[in-house]
Amino acid sequence: MNHLSRKQIQQIQHMFPTFAHLPAESWEAAQLLSINPATSHSIREGHILQHAMFIVSGQIRVFKLSQTGREITLYRVHSGQCCVLMMASILGETEYEASVAIEEETDVLLLPVSVFREWMNTIKPIRQYIYKQFIDRMTNVTKLLENVAFQPLPYRIADYLISESVKGDCLRLTHEQLAIEIGTSREVITRILKSFAEQGTIALSRGKITILDRGILNRIIEQHL
């Protein structure tokens, strides 16, 4: 096993300030792994994790898969974050309850489960960081569950388009990708998007959704608040 270099440790500590005061010997069992969308992995529902994972750079998507094969995105894990479902699985000594998709070039800090548990038990700042991640994710997933259970699809689609377009009105997004994000079928997504387009709310082209009238989308959202 290759030990982390000083430069790699500094990069990790920059993204995870809570690791800043660990003694040098604490890093001996850690690894920094570079992965990409083509990387084969076994992190799927039912997997028993051997390492705690922290995203140093890049992004992964955490999702659930139904018995019929339909996906719904739970959340994404970005630089400086960890997957709380992984942490819960490790701490509870249970199977992982979701699956992972690697969406781009990503560097992952790997800690053997035994090391992570020791850090949780003995290092208060790391324990506090993990608990804060739990709280933040719980809020997001609770909102997702509420939307799935209580909100109609036009609301959920309008809410997604508004939230994902803060940097511009053009979203590079296929109907299939949106269906996975929302947790429904591509056919239903296509039907609702076409109705939005007929109202002049959006424009549709191959692999792209352009927002033309945010006011209509916001009114759809407000109708169901």
- Write phi, then psi, for 149 (nearest 5 degrees): -80, -35
Q: Does 180 score more than 70 pLDDT?
A: yes
The answer to whether 31 touches 1, Cβ cutoff 8 Å, is yes
Q: Is residue 6 helix, strand or coil?
A: helix
Q: In the CATH hierarchy, which top-level class contains the domain 151-222?
A: mainly alpha
pLDDT of res. 199: 94
| Topology annotation, domain 6-148 | Jelly Rolls (2.60.120)
Domain limits of the chain?
6-148, 151-222
Reported pTM: 0.85
* pLDDT digits 0-9 by tens, 108-161: 999 999 999 999 999 999 999 999 999 989 888 888 888 888 899 999 999 999
Q: Which residue, 73, 76, 219, 70, is CA-closest to 159?
A: 219
Average pLDDT, the chain: 93
Structure tokens at 153: 């699809």
Q: Does 60 score more than 90 pLDDT?
A: yes
pLDDT of res. 1: 53
pLDDT of res. 145: 86
